[in-house]
């Protein structure tokens, strides 16, 4: 068995990202949390003010022998809008920014390459604004944020925001999910 690697992504509400990444073969765990700010041990309430500098992120532990970092990047860019600065739908603020926190130069180069390829292919009608930054301290979000969609799928935000995103993901990545 190969050792696990870690990827950290921010692309709007962490509940949305968590729900999708949890469904990928080769992903062993997904934790919602905060990264990139200047306050130690921030709370959700503090992060929501937009004054801590943190982004809502997910930390994805994956087995690279089953799923590549490149595959995770492809999913990341498919499940959120990387062209909106500090916004995903109705979620507005710096805590909802599109960001990739890299753990190695290899991850940084892969992220830069994917953005270059998407830009060259005119995959989006507006420029990609996703930041690529070195990983910083990851602060695990409060317990009620973990595994959120799976435990609250009937909640309105889950039904109207996350469920359609999951359905789009299932359709786009049906072949990969059969792996």
Catalytic residue IDs? 13
- Residue carrying the six token digits 């996350």: 162
| Phi (first) and psi of residue 70, to 5 degrees | -60, -40
- Percentages helix, strand, coil for the chain (3-state, rounded to 5) are 40, 20, 40
Phi first, then psi, for residue 62 (nearest 5°) are -140, 155
3-class DSSP assignment, residue 128: coil
Beta-ladder partners of 101: 8, 133
Q: Is 50 helix (H, G, I), strand (E, B) or coil?
A: coil
CA dist., res. 112 & res. 104, Å (int)? 13
What is the rounded distance in angstroms from the CA atom of residue 15 to the CA atom of residue 44? 13
Distance (Å, whole) CA 149 – CA 54: 22
Q: What are residue 27's phi and psi, to 5 degrees?
A: -85, 125
């Amino acid at each position: 068995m190969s050792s696990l690697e870690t990827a950290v992504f921010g692309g709007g509400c962490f509940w949305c990202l968590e729900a999708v990444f949890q469904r990928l073969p080769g992903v062993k765990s997904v934790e919602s949390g905060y990264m990139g700010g200047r306050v130690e041990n921030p709370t959700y309430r503090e992060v929501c003010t937009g004054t801590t500098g943190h982004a809502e992120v997910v930390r994805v532990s994956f087995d690279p022998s089953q799923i590549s970092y490149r595959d995770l990047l492809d999913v990341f860019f498919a499940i959120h809008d990387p062209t909106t600065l500090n916004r995903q739908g109705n979620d507005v603020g710096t805590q909802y920014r599109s960001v990739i926190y890299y753990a190695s130069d290899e991850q940084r180069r892969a992220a830069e390459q994917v953005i270059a390829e998407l830009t060259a292919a005119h995959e989006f009608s507006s420029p990609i604004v996703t930041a690529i930054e070195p990983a910083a301290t990851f602060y695990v979000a409060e317990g009620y944020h973990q595994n959120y969609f799976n435990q609250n799928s009937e909640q309105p935000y889950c039904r109207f925001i996350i469920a359609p995103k999951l359905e789009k993901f299932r359709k786009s990545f049906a072949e990969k999910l059969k792996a």
